[in-house]
A and B are shown apart, each in its own frame.
Chain A
Amino acid sequence: MEEKTVGRLNQSRAPIYEALEQFRRMRVVPFDVPGHKRGRGNPELTEFLGARCVGVDVNSMKPLDNLCHPVSVIREAERLAADAFGAAQAFLMVGGTTSAVQSMVLTACKRGDEIILPRNVHRSVINALVLCGAVPVYVNPETDARLGISLGMKRDQVAKAIAEHPNAVAVLVNNPTYYGICSDLKAIVEMAHAAGMLCLADEAHGTHFYFGEGLPISAMAAGADMAAVSMHKSGGSLTQSSFLLAGPKVHAGYVRQIINLTQTTSGSYLLMSSLDISRRNLALRGKQVFEQVKRLAEYAREEINAIGGYYAFGPELVNGDSIFAFDPTKLSVHTLDIGLAGIEVYDLLRDDYDIQIEFGDLGNLLAYISIGDRIQEVERLVSALAEIRRLHQKDPSGMMRHEYIDPEVVVSPQEAFYAEKISLPLRETEGKVCSEFVMCYPPGIPILAPGEKITREILDYIEYAKAIGCSMTGPEDPEIQRLNVLA
């Protein structure tokens, strides 16, 4: 393999992978966990997953290091990752980017601390506030009136929040949003640092920013203090594997302690080796790979816009502030003009055309284009969209657009979550304080979070989203006919 260095390390190394290969050759007799013993004890599983796969499902041991306290091959893999991402520290995460986001927030905040963030965060962020007792200060993300999607945070809105809450400890930024929209991260980092706050980035959808060209700036390059990077989304590693990155101002030992509060002590070597191999791949070939992804997405946008009726939006949206940058690998399509909600097109694609896309909401759908895509599949998606328009186009009047509903935080998420509560039928909850989440998943951005006041507008939105077939999650009542509210 060609040798290549991103920072100062040799990125063609993959220490965890190499250690597992070496370990396989040693033919060590296992009298340790896992009990399937290289798959022998579970032939059906071995048949299903393959002998090579179950053969490296092994436990921490001296030659393979230990995720809780890495000193050898895992530590080396972390150093290489930090080098590849331009971070001071990188941590391998095996509990999904959810665990990376939570560790990031838990590192920055303690009980009662304020944290400034946009309301269109992933549920994992607010979950972290439930865990640690920090109080959210929401910045209203602009909403695009035509598309009905939440945008980034405007600079002056962030400045206002910082001025009004000078004791806040951190500012959290989506880089980018699910739809690929970026705030002016560099400016926000400078504002946060000037006010003595940390800047945290949720980069669940931003792994490729570190490797591709012509993409929005990455958190580490912008000077952010921590970033949660979903390697398993655009980076190609196995589901549930992720990186937490930290800048030079953050104490690495403390971050490790925070991670170990909730992370498993039996870190999966399947997940860790996938992080190692994927990091190597992106460091060596990421530039070409993401150039290709970008071209595919651009081609798909052109072809979809040529069908008529659909609007596959792209970098033309950039306005220098609430849409400071747009991720051109994202393929989002506005569907309302053909009289169909995004979720309806999403369902048609799956049921009639055997095409699974990432998600559909009220007005848009998102098809995930990545490292594994080929032109043939893109042609299928475009043709299916053309067919759906031909067969299902309707009068678009009466379709609901998502409007940003300014949340009223009455009590902190933690207080609301653990408070005495009662269950009421949905429509009787108006005016009460909600003690649980309500969201469409995906995208997993809460409509209601614990501690927020329930309004008629919110209830209308929930009922409409249920009626058009959004998959709603969060509350104790899976049918979402009742909500828990503070007693």
Chain B
Amino acid sequence: MEFWFSEHHTPDVKLSLRVDRQLYSQESEYQRIDVFDTPEFGRVLALDGNVMLTERDEFIYDEMMTHVPMAVHPNIRRVLIIGAGDGGVVRELTRYEQIERIDLVEMDEMVVEACRRYLPGNACRLDDERVHIYYENGLKFIRRREDEYDLIIVDSTDPFGPSEGLFTREFYGNCYNALKEDGIMVNQQGSPFYGEDAAAMQRSHKRIASTFPISRVYQAHIPTYAAGYWLFGFASKKYHPIDDLNAARWNGQHLRTRYYTTRLHVGAFYLPAFLEEMLQEVE
């Protein structure tokens, strides 16, 4: 039997994964949640038919979301994560002893439940005593915070679904307000390749750049995301992502990683010409 999962990256392009079997399929208040096993990418989590993570390539995303800011800011104690109910970002962050508190705000409790059950490799550190999970709207949560966090990680789904509010100027402004005077915000910034994705990426970059004094974009190669090519935003009140990188300090912690290195850290901020142009257009 041939059993394939397909996700349209544009109306004319799709990515298909052969499926061994489906393990979970539920409709939550916000979205449809599916978990299935694939021969090539292992276990997969899809929300509304879009691949959120696969066991095979999630490390790229989760390492790049976390170690980049951790290697720049010398003293991150309090972290806020918005989205990321799968726990991958939490897993990476709990490896740092210096972190005292991680607030995780996830709108959809069913995503967390599904990941605890089917994706223990990601969800394994959600019970760390420093982790506090809030099931609520990210915009509402952050509106009430001021001068509280050293790092905010925005790990949302794409800007065309329930996460739309996390790509808005009001949200980025509220993040700015919730960060301490030397705080950093990292967000997933989508893909710059296909037309509609690229336009959304430009829109959110424009909003971030008008909110934070330092706003840079970095990239990674993630096979199951659109065009296999993914961007992250690094927005900061004080620290520059390259000038303030302290490679010796980070390497001194001897964290084993599979994608991130401090050499790659610098390289990730060097972007192709077409992308530099797209970003300059809106800066």
Contacts and interface: CB of A to CB of B under 8 A. Distances in A.
Given A376-B164, A380-B165, A387 B174 contact: yes
Contacts of A391: 173
Contacts of B121: none
Contact of A379 (B137, B169, B173, B177): B137
A387 B165 contact: no
Interface string A366-399: 0000000001100110111011001100000000
B168 A353 contact: yes
B137 A386 contact: no
A384 B170 contact: yes
A354 B200 CA distance: 14
A386 B164 contact: no
A257 B255 CA distance: 84
A352 interface: yes
B140 interface: yes
Interface string B122-149: 0000000000000001011011100000
A354 B143 contact: no
B154 to A, nearest CB: 14
A98 B162 CA distance: 37
A376 B174 contact: no
B173 A380 contact: no
A390 B177 contact: yes
B174 to A, nearest CB: 6
Interface residues of A, number: 17
A384 B142 CA distance: 12
Contact of B139 (A352, A380, A390): A380
B143 A382 contact: yes
A383 B174 contact: yes
A379 B165 contact: yes
B174 A379 contact: no
A310 B190 CA distance: 35
A303 B169 CA distance: 19
Given A375-B137, A376-B137, A390-B177, A383 B164 contact: no
A357 to B, nearest CB: 14
B137 A387 contact: no
Contacts of B212: none
Interface centre among A306, A307, A353, A376 (most CB of B within 10 A): A376
Interface centre among B137, B143, B162 (most CB of A within 10 A): B143
B164 A387 contact: no
Interface string B258-282: 0000000000000000000000000
B140 A353 contact: no
A380 B168 CA distance: 8
B171 interface: yes
A386 B141 CA distance: 13
A380 B142 CA distance: 12
B61 to A, nearest CB: 24
Interface centre among A380, A382, A384, A387 (most CB of B within 10 A): A387
Contact of B143 (A352, A353, A376, A383): A383
Contacts of B177: 390
Contacts of A352: 169
Nearest to A299: B140
A391 to B, nearest CB: 7
A198 to B, nearest CB: 48
A303 B165 CA distance: 16
Interface string A298-337: 0000010011000000000000000000000000000000
Contacts of A307: 143
Contacts of A306: 144
Contacts of A379: 137, 139-140, 165
A92 B100 CA distance: 65
A354 to B, nearest CB: 7
Given A380-B139, A380-B168, A386 B162 contact: no
A380 B170 contact: yes
Interface in B149-178: 162, 164-165, 168-171, 173-174, 177
B171 A376 contact: no
A375 B136 CA distance: 11
Contacts of B142: 383
B169 A353 contact: yes
Contacts of B171: 380, 383
A380 B140 CA distance: 9
A386 B174 contact: yes
A338 to B, nearest CB: 15
A354 B203 CA distance: 11
B106 to A, nearest CB: 15
Given A354-B169, A383-B171, A384-B169, 11 more contacts: A353-B168, A376-B139, A376-B162, A376-B165, A379-B140, A382-B139, A383-B165, A383-B168, A384-B168, A387-B174, A390-B177
29 contacts: A303-B140, A306-B144, A307-B143, A352-B169, A353-B168, A354-B169, A375-B137, A376-B162, A376-B164, A379-B137, A379-B140, A379-B165, A380-B139, A380-B170, A382-B139, A382-B140, A383-B139, A383-B140, A383-B142, A383-B143, A383-B165, A383-B168, A383-B173, A384-B168, A384-B169, A386-B174, A387-B173, A387-B174, A390-B173
Q: In the A-B complex, list the 7 residue pairs whose CB atoms are closest, starting with the nearest.
A: A384-B170, A383-B170, A387-B173, A379-B139, A383-B139, A387-B170, A380-B165
